[in-house]
A and B are shown apart, each in its own frame.
Chain A
Amino acid sequence: MKLLITFSRKGGREPVIARIVKETGVLINVEKANIDSMAGEMLIDVPDEDASVVLERMEAAGVSVRVLEDAIVRDEEECIDCGACISICPQEVFSFDPDWRIRLHPGVCVLCGKCVIACPHRALSLQQ
Chain B
Amino acid sequence: MEKSLELINTRIRDGNARVVAAEEMPSIVDELGEEGALKEVDVVTTGTFGAMCSSGAFFNFGHADPPIRMERVWLNDVEAYTGIAAVDAYLGATQQSATQGEEYGGAHVLEDLLAGNAVELQATSRGTDCYPRRSITTELLLEDMNQAIMLNPRNAFQRYNAATNSTDRTLYTYMGTLLPRCGNISYSGAGSLSPLPNDPHFRMIGSGVPIFLCGAEGMVVGEGTQHASRGGFGNLMVTGDMKRMTNEFLRAATMTGYGVTAYVGLGVPIPVVDLDVVRHTAVRDEDILVDVIDYGVARRDRPSRRKVSYAELKSGSVELGEEVVRTSSLSSYRMARKVADRLKEWIETGSMGDLALPTRRINPEGVSRPMRETQQAPRVREIMERQVISITEDEEIRTAAKRLLKGETNHLPVLDKDGILVGIVTTYDISKAVVQDGKHRCVRDIMTRKVVKTHPDEPVDIAARKLEQNNISALPVVDTANRVVGMLTAIDLGKLFGRRWMK
Contact = CB atoms under 8 A, between A and B. Distances in A.
Interface of A: 80-88, 95-96, 99-101, 114, 117-118, 120-122
B328 A80 contact: no
Interface string B248-260: 0001011110000
A86 B316 contact: yes
Interface string B327-347: 111111111010000000000
A88 B179 contact: yes
A118 to B, nearest CB: 4
B251 A80 contact: yes
A87 B334 contact: no
A82 B329 contact: yes
Interface string B424-443: 00000000000000000000
Contacts of A101: 334
Given A96-B316, A101-B334, A118-B176, A83 B329 contact: yes
Contacts of A117: 177, 256
A101 B254 CA distance: 20
Contacts of B255: 120
B177 A88 contact: yes
B327 A82 contact: no
B335 A80 contact: yes
A122 to B, nearest CB: 7
Contact of B184 (A88, A96, A121, A122): A88
Interface string B126-143: 000000000000000000
A54 B186 CA distance: 41
B292 interface: no
Given A88-B179, A118-B176, A122-B254, A100 B186 contact: no
B384 interface: no
Contacts of B332: 80-83, 100
Contacts of B179: 87-88
A114 B179 CA distance: 10
B185 interface: yes
B261 interface: yes
Given A82-B332, A120-B330, 4 more contacts: A80-B263, A82-B50, A82-B330, A87-B326
Nearest to A80: B332
B90 interface: no
A88 B186 CA distance: 9
A100 B185 contact: no
Nearest to B331: A82
A118 B253 CA distance: 11
B347 to A, nearest CB: 23
A22 B85 CA distance: 78
A96 B329 CA distance: 10
Nearest to B50: A82
Q: Which 9 A-B pairs have the closest CB atoms?
A: A87-B184, A120-B253, A87-B328, A87-B326, A83-B329, A118-B177, A100-B334, A100-B333, A81-B334
Contacts of A82: 50, 263, 329-332
